[in-house]
Chains A and B, each alone.
Chain A
């Protein structure tokens, strides 16, 4: 790392704030659990009060007061505009093209933005069996664009994913479009080093922005393919006091809610 002192926030906080800034008011966002959910709700509490958050459990327009641990926590239903059956969320709401942004995490991403959340090693003799694709394959093709949030390392940012759980740009150079995959595909990968975006033409992800305390060399070293670097690499603005205060308050409320013991009424 460079001589710039370590910042007063965690990598997770920096990623969450950076991702939140990419969302806009009234945008319809199909949210995955974890960092994507934290970022989408932070955006809602800051600059995007009328963002429409959809979770695959069927909750539409949800405004949770605390972050859900699971994709179907009661809080998501209780604060939703409407709760629809699961077959409906994927057909009437996602497949129909009503979603602006799909917000995904994964275990691995490759240089063309294909995601793996299925398996490391051969499918039939897995080294590590991961949970699986869930809603991601169809989110990845039906959202107008996809943002990916993932901590960067040479193990998670690989030249080619072991298993394509959901489609990025496939082999690049227009392969996605040629194969008939709809949707705009992954337009940004937000990491703990900076932001990557697809290069025009090759559709390979390149570094377009970095955090203040990170060097371009750090980002290249934490990538499992020879990472290309944009002509100009922006320096991302650090989180403001306001952003950090709102995010930390959200996490505090969430911790309190999760530590509250549940009593069965029997």
Chain B
């Protein structure tokens, strides 16, 4: 485990062609890390995420990905993820292959990955057309009852990236609030990068809290605000207004590209990104 900068962590641990999961279900979405991947112009990534919302809209629109494994892709409560749609419907900025699941299927696949089992299983997908378009959804026969149970191959990303509230100086990470599949995706990965709101002397974690011990974490970077426009419980709330604004920014290829050029490629890091938004009167 190393406490380092976000730039150094992405540079060292995210490579072209990697399978990369950025998790966080509405809460604690690692936006700063996603933008740093865009800034470092990673290409050919296989992106995994249950809910490819604004963060993957940005990464896919910026040309980082050639494959997406997911279960719901939209702008939550607002509408379409326009860049994800454009990539699937019209191959812009490049073709995007998809492996589509349900949430329960993705969750089972992460649990299997974290457990180093070959597959996850669930009573799921029954009566749907999803197995017809995703041949990795299969079945096993229960050896005890003979029941047919759906299976999904384990997800074991090369890299999982999370945002969390706190790490201590040894690199132990505390997550609280809505967890999504953060813990499972983190433990399923070969490398785990975590950005945090702050680094503290003592996590003060209650017993049974979700703590990722330093020895399963590859690198920690302190990036305050790094989940914006999603939120970090105890630090700032979800910027619902920005999610609504994103619909306008992302709808059009030129407007989107200008936004990425100005605020992501045109800045050195996340602090610069926020400063640029504020300079234009649209910052949080």
Which residues from chain A sit less than 8 Å from chain B, CB to CB? 33-34, 56-59, 68-74, 76-78, 83-87, 90-91, 94-95, 114, 118, 123, 126-138, 140-142, 163-167, 170, 176, 179-182, 257-259, 261-266
A205 to chain B, nearest CB (A): 16
Which residues from chain B sit less than 8 Å from chain A, CB to CB? 25-27, 50-51, 70-74, 76-78, 80-81, 84-85, 88-89, 100, 102-105, 107-108, 110-111, 122-130, 133, 148, 177-181, 183-184, 210, 224-225, 228-229, 231, 233, 235-244, 271, 274, 284
Give complex CA distance A259, B237 in Å: 12
Closest to A140 in B: B127
Is A137's CB under 8 angstroms from B89's CB? Answer: no
Is A262's CB under 8 angstroms from B26's CB? Answer: no
Is A129's CB under 8 angstroms from B238's CB? Answer: no
Is B241's CB under 8 angstroms from A34's CB? Answer: no
**5 additional A-B residue pairs with CB within 8 Å, beyond A86-B103, A133-B128, A167-B126:** A68-B77, A94-B104, A132-B72, A133-B103, A137-B128
Q: Can you report 16 residue pairs joining A to B where beta carbons are below 8 Å apart? A: A34-B77, A72-B76, A74-B237, A84-B179, A85-B184, A94-B104, A95-B123, A123-B129, A129-B89, A137-B125, A167-B127, A258-B240, A262-B236, A262-B239, A262-B241, A264-B284
Is A181's CB under 8 angstroms from B126's CB? Answer: yes
Instruction: Give which listed residue, B71, B80, B81, B231, contacts A74 with CB less than 8 A.
Output: B231
Q: Which residues does chain B contribute within 8 Å of A132, judged by CB atoms?
A: 70-74, 100
Instruction: Give which listed residue, B108, B130, B229, B238, contacts A133 with CB less than 8 A.
Output: B130
Q: Which residues does chain A contribute within 8 Å of B133, judged by CB atoms?
A: 123
Closest to B239 in A: A262
Give complex CA distance A78, B27 in Å: 12
Q: Which residues does chain A contribute within 8 Å of B240, judged by CB atoms?
A: 69-70, 73, 257-258
Is B26's CB under 8 angstroms from A134's CB? Answer: no
Is A131's CB under 8 angstroms from B102's CB? Answer: no
Is A180's CB under 8 angstroms from B26's CB? Answer: no
Known: A73-B26, A167-B128. Contact between A135 and B123, CB under 8 A?
A: no
Is B72's CB under 8 angstroms from A95's CB? Answer: no
Instruction: Give which listed residue, B27, B129, B233, contacts A164 with CB less than 8 A.
Output: B129
A80 to chain B, nearest CB (A): 9
Give complex CA distance A90, B25 in Å: 14
Known: A126-B89, A129-B89, A179-B127. Contact between A72 and B180, CB under 8 A?
A: yes
Is A264's CB under 8 angstroms from B274's CB? Answer: yes
B68 to chain A, nearest CB (A): 11
Closest to A127 in B: B89
Give complex CA distance A57, B130 in Å: 22
Give complex CA distance A230, B236 in Å: 52
Q: Which residues does chain B contribute within 8 Å of A95, judged by CB atoms?
A: 104, 122-124
B205 to chain A, nearest CB (A): 16
Q: Which residues does chain A contribute within 8 Å of B126, judged by CB atoms?
A: 137, 141, 167, 179-182
- From B89, B102, B104, name the one whose CB has the most chain A CB atoms within 10 angstroms: B104
Is A263's CB under 8 angstroms from B184's CB? Answer: no
Is A131's CB under 8 angstroms from B73's CB? Answer: yes
Closest to B124 in A: A138
Give complex CA distance A83, B179 in Å: 8
Known: A74-B177, A87-B108, A129-B88. Contact between A266 and B102, CB under 8 A?
A: no
A100 to chain B, nearest CB (A): 18
Is B128's CB under 8 angstroms from A164's CB? Answer: yes
Is A182's CB under 8 angstroms from B123's CB? Answer: yes
Is A141's CB under 8 angstroms from B127's CB? Answer: yes
Q: Which residues does chain B contribute within 8 Å of A261, judged by CB atoms?
A: 241, 284
Is B102's CB under 8 angstroms from A72's CB? Answer: no
Closest to B242 in A: A262
Instruction: Give which listed residue, A68, A72, A78, A131, contacts B80 with CB less than 8 A.
Output: A131
Is B78's CB under 8 angstroms from A69's CB? Answer: yes
- From B51, B78, B127, B271, name the one whose CB has the most chain A CB atoms within 10 angstroms: B127
Is B181's CB under 8 angstroms from A85's CB? Answer: yes
Give complex CA distance A76, B244 in Å: 19
Is A72's CB under 8 angstroms from B122's CB? Answer: no
Q: Which residues does chain A contribute within 8 Å of B80, judged by CB atoms?
A: 131
Closest to A126 in B: B89
Is B107's CB under 8 angstroms from A87's CB? Answer: yes
Shortest 4 CB-CB contacts between residues of A and residues of B: A72-B26, A167-B127, A131-B74, A70-B76
Instruction: Give which listed residue, B111, B124, B237, contacts A87 with CB less than 8 A.
Output: B111
Give complex CA distance A234, B125 in Å: 35
Known: A69-B76, A72-B25. Contact between A135 and B85, CB under 8 A?
A: no
Is B178's CB under 8 angstroms from A58's CB? Answer: yes
Known: A136-B102, A180-B148, A181-B126. Contact between A77 and B27, CB under 8 A?
A: yes
